[in-house]
Amino acid sequence: MKNAMGMVFLARTILTKPNCPASASKLRYYSSLPSSPLANNKLFVGGLSWSVDEKSLTDAFSSFGEVTEVNILYDKDTGRSRGFGFVNFSKEDDARCAKDAMDGKALLGRPLRISFALEKVRGGPVVVPHLSKIGDIATRNT
DNA sequence: TATGAGCGA
């Protein structure tokens, strides 16, 4: 079984994440203001083929780092993929690496359009009470 | 059935 070693090397080759020379942009933004609406660990992946599911997306991106979350948005009615999704990495270097490497590359026949995801609502939704309801309650309780 | 810019339960 001299192929066993070869298999190990093959596996290591697949599992080894490609090194990213473009990791020089380790700038940190110290502003407390939401000046950058871009998430650093999360990628917006558009241009997905409608036959791509979360598993194939994970397989396509997990070689660049630790993928912590993968979401594909499906249409409520038809159940079909809406053609885009989100891939979350544990390190932003890996996310940038995957973006640089996979942006424009085709997956299942369609070129991927990758960019950093827009930062989702920070701290949860802000519930603004409706003024008419408040008036209602006020008149009812007096 | 076929279709293709964008940012989410």
Q: What is the full DSSP assignment across A51-102?
A: T--HHHHHHHHGGGS-EEEEEEEE-TTT--EEEEEEEEESSHHHHHHHHHHH
Q: How far apart are CA A52 and CA A102, in angstroms?
A: 15
Lowest mean pLDDT across A40-54, A78-92, A105-119, A122-136:
A122-136
pLDDT of residue A27: 47
Query: Stated in angstroms, how far is A83 CA from B5 C1'?
Result: 10
Residue with the bigger pLDDT between A133 and A80: it is: A80
**pTM of this prediction?**
0.73
- Calculate the angstrom distance between C1' of B9 and CA of A18: 33
Q: Using N-to-C axis directions, what is the helix angle for A92-102 and A54-61, rounded to 10°?
A: 100
Strand B interface, A 32-61, C-beta < 7 A = 39, 42, 44, 46-50
Q: What is the mean pLDDT of chain A?
A: 78
Task: Return the bridge partners of A111, or none.
Answer: A106
Which protein residue has its CA closest to C1' of B8?
A73
Q: CA–CA separation, A7 vs A15, rounded Å?
A: 12
